[in-house]
Structure 1
Amino acid sequence: MFFSSKPRNIFDPPTPFERIVSSPLTFLVTSIYELFQSLRPAPSPHSPPIRVVCISDTHTLTYDIPNGDLLIHAGDLANAGTTSEIQNQLDWLSSLPHPQKVAIAGNHDTYLDPRSRMTLDEKDRTDILDWHGIIYLQHSSITLNFPERQNRQLKIYGAPQIPKCGGSQFAFQYNRGQDAWSDTVPPNLDILITHTPPKYHCDLAAALGCEWLLKEVWRVKPKLHVCGHIHAGAGREVLWWDQSQGAYESLRARSKKGLLLSMIDPEFWLEAAALLLLGLRGIVWTRIWGGEQRSTTLVNAALMYNNTGKLGNQVQVVLI
């Protein structure tokens, strides 16, 4: 059978053929944007660099984690979200050699949200977690010192909320389209940790990330943004905060009108032309002329490979 009658999970990655058939303009725009991104140089790290090891979505499992100065877990330690599941993951994280460790919650970490916690059995509502010195951020920030890196400091903010994707047993959910982000992230930030990705970036073609988070990251522009949640979006991307990126995001929003309406929308084609010209200008400016531009390294650190129940994605290590 060429097509399956089984309904697709929206979190499953579509094949290239399915992406083309479902939205050829989205496929075209995304392919052009990804090509331009691949031709721009990666941001240069500070000297001496701090080695940040980024993981997420381990879902009760353990993995071989490379060493570094800072370990970040961007949520979904658990599956059912019980204290025993979370504690087992904390015990594993505490055994790793990284001198600094920071974690946030994900939607599967039920116990950590007082609202979803009420769906657990009484024992799992009253147990106490031992964090073993792991710094837990929940709409909060911390400044970490790295004396072995010439006393450098990193200001880090973490927040777990995601657009709703399940029932009341899932933690930190808000209705999709609701603004749960504006003016919540502090300025002058080095690292932002969220469970959801921003919309259109380290995301699926269905755009399951949050548009309000995207606007907030445009405002704050941290050096590094670590997320997870969308397993199939695992990887990294450099956000350049320029007109080219703005044109891409606007085109992604327009292409949701459907093929026919987008094809006859003159503003779509004007923005498509702008994406081409601005993307080429960005490549010339950064790679040929050596120009500098503010950027954010976005990492989707999900280790769960798609929805297989097995860890298999690459651990993301970033030097900042």
Structure 2
Amino acid sequence: MNPTPIHKLLLQAPVKLLLFHAYHLLNSLRSTPTPADPPIRVVCISDTHDQFPEDVPAGDILIHAGDLTNDGSVASIQKQVDWLCSLPHKEIVVISGNHDTYLDPRTRPSLSDDQRAGSVDWKRIHYLQHRALTLTLTIEPSNDAAEGARTHLLSSRPRRRKIKLYGAPQIPACGPMSVHAFQYPRGLDAWSETVPEDTDILITHTPPQYHLDLSLPGGMGCEHLAKEVKRIKPTLHVFGHMHWGAGKMVVWWDGCHHAYESGMGAKSRPIRGLLNPWLWFNLIRVGYRGMRNLVWDKVWGGQGSNTIMVNAAQIHGNTGKLGNTIQVVDI
């Protein structure tokens, strides 16, 4: 799964290319959402593939969004679990990825007897497989809050916050169904009405289509997951799978986002795509609505409904080597 070269995109989907960059430019200029008080620091990783990132930042919750291993064996999964448990985070939450073969009963038979011998000891890790989890965390005051002369007395004391997470590993098929775990045929709706409405943090392995995805020309993420995220509007959505999409962005649930998804979902054929009025209409809508929302944000301080999305893949592209930044989010 590699990005389409720019010269091919200029021939295959030139208007979509403009749409994609216009949306992301306008999005990048908007303010960062204000976290709750007290904030919870979430450290996000994914796609470690048997490797162990160094200098993992401190935080309240550490999330691993799948593909802990390459071969999916019990021994490989256990090594990753042992490493994760050695980290100092208060809570650690993990889901599976398509390479974690043992964790899907449908693909487990593809492993050798030695590879599937035994079972995984999750220790203190919360493993989520189509499951919700509610955590209550005690948040210590930051040094700035504790030392600030004007800080209210209550702000210098530990405070508690309750937060609900939901994790699910399924992805649109990208390899043999008997080997790659938790796959469903591309185009099948495996998401609608599956995520609890009060979810604060959603953890999936696949990205939602067109967001921190291989978005051009057609998007490799799941379109049905994108609709489910829009329905739930969690505070934070963590995923991986598409190594090239690694990063962090804020999705604002407004007219600019609607125009972006409408345009990206339109058919775009070589040369003819330049004549598609629907594509041009949505490009204009992204520009107009994006600028209007930017002014509302910067001048009036308005933010609106949003979700912070994180593609936490650690492997850089198809190099097989760690290289992407570990993402940290305060919510």
TM norm. shorter chain > 0.5 = yes
Structure 2: where are the runs of 5+ without partners? 141-158
| CA-CA distance at 1:260 after TM superposition | 3.2
Distance (Å, rounded) in 1 between the aligned partners of 2:11 and 2:236: 34
Residue 265 (structure 1) aligned to one of 276, 290, 294: 276
Distance (Å, rounded) in 2 between the aligned partners of 1:268 and 1:68: 42
Matched, 1:221 2:233: yes
Matched, 1:128 2:119: yes
| CA-CA distance at 1:18 after TM superposition | 4.0
Letter in 2 for 1:211: E
Give yes or no for contact 2:38–2:139 (8 Å, CA) kept in 1. no
User: In structure 1, what is the equivalent of residue 143 of structure 2?
Assistant: none
* Residues 159-183 of structure 1 deviation map (CA, whole Å, 9 limit, x = unaligned): 0000000112100000111100000
Q: TM-score, normalised by structure 2?
A: 0.91
Distance (Å, rounded) in 2 between the aligned partners of 1:242 and 1:42: 16
* Residues 210-245 of structure 1 deviation map (CA, whole Å, 9 limit, x = unaligned): 000000001000000000000000001111011110
User: In structure 2, what is the equivalent of residue 171 of structure 1?
Assistant: 181
User: In structure 2, what is the equivalent of residue 115 of structure 1?
Assistant: 106
Give yes or no for contact 2:40–2:139 (8 Å, CA) kept in 1. no
* Residues 186-207 of structure 1 deviation map (CA, whole Å, 9 limit, x = unaligned): 0011100000000000011241
- Give the count of matched residue pairs: 309
Give yes or no for contact 1:110–1:116 (8 Å, CA) kept in 2. yes
User: In structure 2, what is the equivalent of residue 100 of structure 1?
Assistant: 91
Give yes or no for contact 1:83–1:129 (8 Å, CA) kept in 2. yes
Give yes or no for contact 1:33–1:248 (8 Å, CA) kept in 2. yes
* Residues 239-262 of structure 1 deviation map (CA, whole Å, 9 limit, x = unaligned): 1011110100111111x3314333
Distance (Å, rounded) in 1 between the aligned partners of 2:277 and 2:300: 33
User: In structure 2, what is the equivalent of residue 186 of structure 1?
Assistant: 196
Distance (Å, rounded) in 2 between the aligned partners of 1:266 and 1:26: 12
Distance (Å, rounded) in 1 between the aligned partners of 2:317 and 2:274: 32
User: In structure 1, what is the equivalent of residue 70 of structure 2?
Assistant: 79
User: In structure 2, what is the equivalent of residue 242 of structure 1?
Assistant: 254
Letter in 2 for 1:249: E
Distance (Å, rounded) in 1 between the aligned partners of 2:84 and 2:3: 29
| CA-CA distance at 1:272 after TM superposition | 2.0
Residue 23 (structure 1) aligned to one of 9, 13, 35: 13
Matched, 1:43 2:54: no
Letter in 2 for 1:116: T
SS in 1 for 2:213: coil
Residue 135 (structure 2) aligned to one of 119, 138, 144: 144
Distance (Å, rounded) in 1 between the aligned partners of 2:9 and 2:79: 39
Structure 1: where are the runs of 5+ without partners? 1-10
Q: TM-score, normalised by structure 1?
A: 0.94
After superposition, the CA RMSD in angstroms is: 1.3
Matched, 1:154 2:144: no
Give yes or no for contact 1:25–1:259 (8 Å, CA) kept in 2. no
Letter in 2 for 1:315: I
Give yes or no for contact 1:234–1:299 (8 Å, CA) kept in 2. yes
| CA-CA distance at 1:126 after TM superposition | 4.0
Distance (Å, rounded) in 1 between the aligned partners of 2:246 and 2:11: 23
